[in-house]
Amino acid sequence: MPENDNTVNIPSDKSRYHHGDLRAALIAEGLKLIDSGPAEALSLREIARNAGVSATAVYRHFPDKAALLGALCAEGQVMLARAFRNAMQAAQPGLEAFNAMGRAYVHFALDHPSLFRLMMAQPGSGPVPVPGLGEGTDHNGMQMLVDAIDGVFGAEMPKHVREARRLKAWSLVHGLAMLMLDGQVPADRALIPAVVDARMI
């Protein structure tokens, strides 16, 4: 996945915001700032200043900081689902694609640590539905995970078995990501392929 794959388009001329451009630009500025520090340090005033608008303009789109953080989480989910998709498309279907998806999850966490922590701190966290990702699709991160499990183990498995494997797969990659982010193990990307192996699921 390309680093800083922020999916929001930033207008090149900050004086020409119209319609939804300003909201998109504010989210993009928030993503830039959260990549350089913790979510708690985000400032709506700083985001406004970086976007070249007044603080009042920010509140037209985000009534408070919580609303902005929610928008950043939603954008992060789009980025994560896109990372899954890119990784799987570059791999052979089945086991290789499943492992590629797991590696993409850990790489995303290492590339965007503060955004990842923010996303996972929300109730019901994890890969969530992302409507409209790709032409004519309603793919989402969690459904992509379920589909990938079916591709490895077959779609005939009982529902409770599929759910157990989904949770095992997510627990494995999430655990590795958090261990690396928290400094419990070295954030050595060479470790990721060895740990992320679907045969352990």
Task: For the chain, give every domain's residue range.
Answer: 14-63, 73-200
pLDDT for 141 equals: 79
Residues in the chain: 201
pLDDT for 51 equals: 86
Report the CATH number of the 14-63 domain. 1.10.10.60
Comparison of pLDDT for 110 and 161, the residue scoring more? 110
Using a pLDDT cut of 90, give the percent of the chain over it.
40
The single-letter code of the amino acid at 57 is: A
Specify whether the CB–CB gap between 30 and 50 falls below 8 A.
no
Comparison of pLDDT for 61 and 15, the residue scoring more? 61
3-class secondary-structure state, position 129: strand
Specify whether the CB–CB gap between 80 and 143 falls below 8 A.
no
Query: How far is residue 107 CA from its own chain's centroid?
Result: 10
Report the CATH number of the 73-200 domain. 1.10.357.10
Model confidence over 164-177: pLDDT tens digits?
A: 988 888 899 999 99
Q: What's the pTM?
A: 0.79
Model confidence over 53-65: pLDDT tens digits?
A: 888 888 888 888 8
Contacts of 138 (CB under 8 A, 6+ apart): 129, 131, 132
Is residue 84's pLDDT more than 80?
yes
